[in-house]
Amino acid sequence: RIRPGKPTENGRHERMHRTMKEALNQHCSFSSLEEQQQWFDRWRKEFNEIRPHKALQGKTPASVWKPSERQFTGPRTEMPVPDNARMLRVAQRGDLWFNSTRIFLSEALRNEWVWMKPLNEQCDEIGFGELILAHYDRINHRILRLD
């Protein structure tokens, strides 16, 4: 682990962020969160599986990565869920299915359970444990960003 406020202790990770930011700046804008996620997925595949890395003597990260031999054996903690919430499972591609409508949420939460509860006449809250992730506009069928 690196010490807080010491990014120089983790140069490889910082370099990856710099490379990603340079590529992202060339793309400019996205019309939806789903389009943005697709761009990040393509970039990650190229970075890890196609592009050679100088620090790896021209190999790709995917060619040298090995899964850990250790298994997580710790307890899974139960997360709080609001009383009036319904549980939804995030699909493999980061989607939720709600009232026959597909909603893209995030691939980072794939296969996880999130909760959804009414916020007002138009919107629902979507959360993960104690964290409110987004609002869902039931009328326009879209995710609303939290500021």
Tens digit of each residue's pLDDT (9 = 90 or more) over 71-117: 888 877 788 899 999 999 999 889 998 888 888 998 899 889 999 99
Instruction: Evaluate whether 114 touches 127 at the Cβ level (below 8 Å).
Output: yes
All structural domains of the chain with their residue ranges? 7-64, 86-144
Classify residue 90 by burial, with Cβ atoms within 10 Å: 0-12, 13-18, 19+: buried
Answering whether pTM is above 0.75, one says no
